[in-house]
Amino acid sequence: MNKQNEIIRIIQKVSKQSAAPDTSESLFDAGYLDSFALTDMIAVLEEKFGISIPDADVTPRKFETVEKIEEYLETHGV
């Protein structure tokens, strides 16, 4: 499974929504994530990809879309 599909699967799991988000749509505006779901998603991303995401990076701006999440992971060696 490619990274983008894995991110989408994680978002669906955390948000408990079966529909897949568009890669460029705001996950917050579309109702997939809120501040509580963001921290849950971060925990799953850390476990799945074997990284540690610092608290300072846990902001909606950095995880607004599937594309931004994928970009964040790539810049952190995933």
Strand positions, DSSP E, the chain? none
Domains of the chain: 3-75 (1.10.1200.10)
In the chain, which residues have pLDDT < 70?
A: 1
Q: What's the confidence (pLDDT) of residue 78?
A: 85
Alpha-carbon radius of gyration of the chain: 11
Q: What's the confidence (pLDDT) of residue 77?
A: 86
Q: What's the confidence (pLDDT) of residue 71?
A: 96
Q: What's the confidence (pLDDT) of residue 66?
A: 98
DSSP 24-41: TS-TTTTTS--HHHHHHH
Distance CA 14, CA 58 (A): 16
